Amino acid sequence: MKFGKRLKHQMQETLPSWRDKFLSYDHLKKLVRLISSAPAMLIGKSGKAKAQFLYVLNNEIDKFNAFFMEREEDFIIRHEGLRQRIRKVTDTWGPNDSHSSKIMYENEVGKLRKDIVDLHGEMVLLVNYSNINYTGLAKILKKYDKRTGALLRLPFIQEILEQPFFTTDLISKLVKECEGTINTVFPVEEEEERKIEVREAMTVTGEGIFRNTVVALLTMQEIRRGSSTYSKYSLPPINLPADLDIIRLVQLNPSIPIV
Amino acid sequence: MWNLGDSKAMSSAFPNLPTPLDVSYSRLPDSFHRSAQRENPMHSLLPQPSSLGNSYSSSSSLPFDSQFSSVYPHERYPQNSPISMSPSGGKSLSHTHSELQSTPVASYPEENKDMSWCPDSIEEFLHFPENVPDQNGLVDTSTGAIISDDHAERTDWSDLYPLISFDGALDSNWELSVDNVVDPKPEVLNHSSDILVQQPNIQQHQPAQSGEIFTSPDPESTAPSTKARMRWTQELHEAFVEAVNQLGGSDRATPKGILNVMKVEGLTIYHVKSHLQKYRTAKYKPESSEGACEKNLTPVEEMNSKDLKTMGMTEALRLQVELQKQLHEQLETQRKLQLQIEEQAKYLEKMFEQQRKMEDNKVKPTSSTSDERNKIGTSTPMDEGSQDASLKQNAQEPATHENHDPPGDADSGALPTKRARTG
């Protein structure tokens, strides 16, 4: 499947408020086509066309940056907030051994676990957002260079690499920290027990962040599958680990039509 | 292709210039690299309160760079307001300024790098209107013909972008960017400002964006409409939380108070205010409802979120985390690869440059020629797997556009294809 379609699919499946924050890939593609098919490639004309193209690109990048930094800030706040909540919960109900407080603890911890896992998921989805937009930009630039014979791609990409939306180090760090936090609130379980419960768990997978993640993984795999323009600059195919039959199970689940 | 031809001419005259006209924006990578460094003082905190001051001085010593950091990429090219190149440029600049001030916050995303702009760069922009008319006068005659042609073609663009008007003034601007390439260099060299000498092309763009500079930020500016975007970090947030707690909690703390306690240079009350708002919302709105707003909860999920004791819930969550971890891992790997690819491309480009230069130097027999040959021969690229092999081969091909190289052995057989696995 072509990138444009995959991107659209991702956008449809993504969290609602994110939908319009992705790259306007089709629009840019049309623009490139328009530029390259301009009848008389006067020097002046191409200068203006290029400026137009850059204008649109820069606007897109601004859009990514703004959205990304806003989400990033949000995640930082939420992550810290969750940490505080954990401390509070363990302090209030942890040490107490009474039955009622145990129930309260379980309740609270349950909610906490859900929230942390969702936060983790959203953060990862933001990294995915960053990446897929970058991929789209790289593709568009490659198209542009190909169609107009310009040498815009390389320097422009170099700049993109420095952009806030692409520098995902902070978010990745947060993700790792989140994983650590998750480990502290989740009980340690036996491997066999886990396998038994996997089937049970499959029934509760619905929409939302989980589904999003699955879609993102599959999309990534598809994108890297190889195409007619596969070159030494393309990413190698993805290897999803052997025991990740989760995805297959999810695909088989009729309530989640993943194309 | 006139591009390459031109590049040859330019490379001999200005070895530092990016050669093709099309790469007029390539200048910006340097500036961006400087201003977009992650170690930007804004990220660090109390231990380095004066670091922002340092960045000020550093950017003033690189007026060229900081100037262009402002140019890219936040440019709105305000093509609606005709930024004419006439001496009345000063007027139009301020006009743009006031226009931009009314820009709504949401559409004005600025990085915190903007903080590092020093007042000097703004001054340099102001020098523009004086210098530009020279260029204008120089080129006007030659652009006449081209402009008339453009008028005919212009409708395409106006249709596509109805909001953007392509008026005459702008046309001449764009033409100028082209004509300057072939202009006799001495004209350019006579300019006092370094910037103008180096980038005749960018010159045309700058007046269009200099309006931006005023609104961007000078973080200490008193203008309430200064809307620089702040990039928060964990440390910064921790300091924030500490300040808030000191002041008696998120309800009692005021932005001004927090600002004073934090004592972070470059932080404006606007930043603190918006951050405080987010903080308060996050505190009092239970996390689960926040997450629910984003998700489309199916009936199954809703039911389970109430029945929290079921093992299924914990297991579902575990599953979710596993998957998320996988995605993250893949993303990180992908990102590393992407960076590597670009590194390679950059390296290749450098090789081509050197080769081109070498060919130019062949005309004049100098001892430096053999040095260059040695350089090219001995410098080894980083070892990054099989992709290297094909790249090394192609490095010898002169003037080959890197993107047009035939798809080679990128798909190394070493990678087992697991495409069919997950169906």
pLDDT tens digits, A208-255: 677 777 778 777 777 776 666 666 666 777 666 544 555 555 555 544
Predicted confidence at residue B308, as pLDDT, reads 43
The closest of A147, A221, A142, A134 to B407, measured between CA atoms, is: A142
Chain B: give the shortest CA distance to residue A76, in Å: 6
Alpha-carbon span B152 to A208, nearest angstrom: 51
Contact A151, B404 (CB under 8 A): no
Least confident of A158-162, B178-182, B195-199, B209-213: B209-213
Provide the total of helices (H) and of strands (E) in chain A, helices listed first.
Answer: 9, 0
Specify the higher pLDDT residue, B55 or A8.
A8
Q: Which residues of B touch A63 (CB under 8 A)?
A: 109
Percentage of chain A surpassing pLDDT 70?
75
Q: Is the pLDDT of residue A39 over 60?
A: no
User: Mind listing the pLDDT tens digit for each residue in B89-124?
Assistant: 344 444 444 443 444 444 444 444 444 444 444 444
Predicted confidence at residue B312, as pLDDT, reads 72
Q: Do A233 and B312 touch (CB under 8 A)?
A: no
Q: Dihedral (C-alpha) B253, B257, B260, B262: value to the nearest 10 degrees?
A: 10
Q: A3 falls in which pLDDT band (50, 70, 90)? A: confident
Q: Of chain A residues 200-229, which have a CB less than 8 A from chain B?
A: 200-210, 213-214, 216-218, 220-221, 224-226, 229
Chain B: give the shortest CA distance to residue A188, in Å: 11
**DSSP letter assigned to residue A53:** H
Alpha-carbon span A72 to B88, nearest angstrom: 43
Predicted confidence at residue B276, as pLDDT, reads 92
> What average pLDDT does the segment B234-241 reach?
92
Predicted confidence at residue B250, as pLDDT, reads 85
> What average pLDDT does the segment B9-30 reach?
42
Percentage of chain B surpassing pLDDT 90?
13
Q: Is the pLDDT of residue B398 over 90?
A: no
Q: B174 falls in which pLDDT band (50, 70, 90)? A: very low
Closest Cβ opposite residue B300 in set A145, A206, A251:
A206
Predicted confidence at residue A111, as pLDDT, reads 86
> What average pLDDT does the segment B257-284 reach?
90
Q: What are phi and psi of B35, to 5 degrees?
A: -80, -15
Q: Is the pLDDT of residue B328 over 90?
A: yes
Q: Do A149 and B32 touch (CB under 8 A)?
A: no
Specify the higher pLDDT residue, A220 or B164.
A220
